[in-house]
Amino acid sequence: MPEQNVPRVRLFGAHELKISDIFDEKKDIYYVPIFQGNDDVNKLHQSAYTGKNTKCAILDSGVLSDHPYLKDRMGAIEDFTGHGPQDREGHGTAVALNLAMTVPDASILIGKVYENDDVPLSEYINRIARGVNWAIDSGARIINLSVGMEKRKEDISKYSGCSEAVKNVCKAINRAIENRISVLVAAGANFPADCHESIIVVGLSGNPVYPKDVHPTVYSPFSPILVPTFLFEGYAHLKMGMYEQALTLFKQAVDLHPEDHQLWKYQALCLYGLKKYNDAVQSFDKALAIKQSDVETWYLKGITLLAITQNDKAIECFDEVLKLVDNAGLTGMKLTEFSNSISDDWYNMGVYYERASRYDEAANCYDKAIWIDPLNAKARNNRGVISAIEEKYEDSIKYFEVATELNPSMVDAWFNKGLALSRLGRYEESIEFFDKAIAIDPACNKALNEKIRVTGKLKSSEEL
């Protein structure tokens, strides 16, 4: 039995993954990660680096060796836990899948160094050392470790039997680095990251916060978002804009798995890409019949309805989006993975509501856009317009001021600020901002006309 109050070695990174996320045994379905617009992956692929003639060792929780995307990629598998190489956590398999799909020609070495069992802490640590030495002897050029501890090596060494174990790990890592092997350790695993200054600390892209003493050297494209293998091929073609090919694959998959809402959604996106909007709407409806709470499907259906000028029905879809997001207590969320700007998605939805004179909903959307991206000048300006419509002119002026600070060339924000000031009877000030709008765009007729109107008001007041 392990000692009381002794820290444990654990997995870092996307450690919330479960083995059932990788393989649904009841349905006999395997899953693979998808990369959602990750720049690091795109740059890697553009560089033509595929990992050819490179052995990469993953020292983790083992692997599901029968996974269809891994079974032909394993260069070697070794167990250092005494429980066999089978992955019971899911983490090791997920890391292997990310590597396999990022560098498709690399040979993957799997060393199982983690099992959630009741062995002394020193044994947990020695497993890591044995795994590193095995990876070196097996010819690895890269060693990836997502296993470790938050405590530093000097603190861990104080526990019973751990001093020698810690030395063994650091000695093995030093040996790897002396052999010019790149050693990668997940951010948060201060040990073994503190074994050598040349260790590459890997953080997850988009991870919001790391402890103050953790400074990732690089950011990994590790994706915890997993989809069934039967969906992945079509998805890959869809992401590349190959809509016809993707549609063929999704149709085949739908025939086999009509209960999967994502298949219907992605099929709809292919149809949208092919400008078959009515067919796309029907596919989105199929997806929503299976999963009515899917925010992305409601949003994408709304966008599709706008394309065929069914604006009222589009707004109904956006109503569902707002209801689902607000009921979940979320200030803002990504509406679709097929977007470059989450903030702009909310901004655009606000514009549709504003055009429909649904000002409360428009304000809600603009507020979400601003919360996600405080530098979104368009959202600031439009939020100010809503306040002006509500005759909250002082509030609107504050929005316009920030918008002009963020984007000094935004004609509408200067004009709107002048208009709000004129509504408050502050005519001389308003003229100043109409002039700013005109200076940027001499053809801004609305600013020219308002300046004439306000100048007339000033003259009338002076005559009185």
Domain boundaries, the chain: 10-224, 229-463
Instruction: Compute the distance between CA of residue 72 and CA of residue 66 in angstroms, rounded to an integer.
Output: 9
pLDDT confidence of residue 224:
57
Task: Please report which confidence band the pLDDT of residue 281 belongs to, taking 50, 70 and 90 as the band edges.
Answer: very high
Task: Please report which confidence band the pLDDT of residue 121 belongs to, taking 50, 70 and 90 as the band edges.
Answer: very high
Q: Which helix (H) or strand (E) holds 200?
A: strand 200-204
Four-way CATH pick for 10-224: 3.90.1720.10, 3.40.50.200, 3.30.1450.10, 3.50.30.30: 3.40.50.200
pLDDT confidence of residue 221:
53
Q: Is the pLDDT of residue 209 over 50?
A: no
pLDDT confidence of residue 44:
47
Cα→Cα distances 104→63, 305, 461, Å: 17, 39, 77
Report the pLDDT averaged over residues 33-61. Answer: 69
Q: Is the pLDDT of residue 93 over 70?
A: yes
Q: Which residues contact 365 (CB under 8 A, 6 or more apart)?
A: 322, 346, 347, 349, 350, 353
pLDDT confidence of residue 219:
52
- Lowest pLDDT segment from 44-58, 312-326, 350-364, 374-388: 44-58
Contact (Cβ atoms closer than 8 angstroms) between residue 318 and residue 299: yes
Q: Is the pLDDT of residue 436 over 70?
A: yes
Q: What letter represents residue 405's amino acid?
A: E
3-class SS at 195? Answer: coil
Determine the straight-line distance between the first and last CA of the chain, rounded to whole angstroms.
Answer: 95
Instruction: Compute the distance between CA of residue 301 and CA of residue 320 in angstroms, rounded to an integer.
Output: 11
Q: Is the pLDDT of residue 205 over 70?
A: no
pLDDT confidence of residue 2:
47
C-alpha closest to that of 48 among 121, 7, 94, 105 = 105
C-alpha closest to that of 368 among 411, 333, 398, 406 = 333
Same fold, 10-224 and 229-463: no
3-class SS at 112? Answer: strand
**What fold characterizes domain 229-463?**
1.25.40
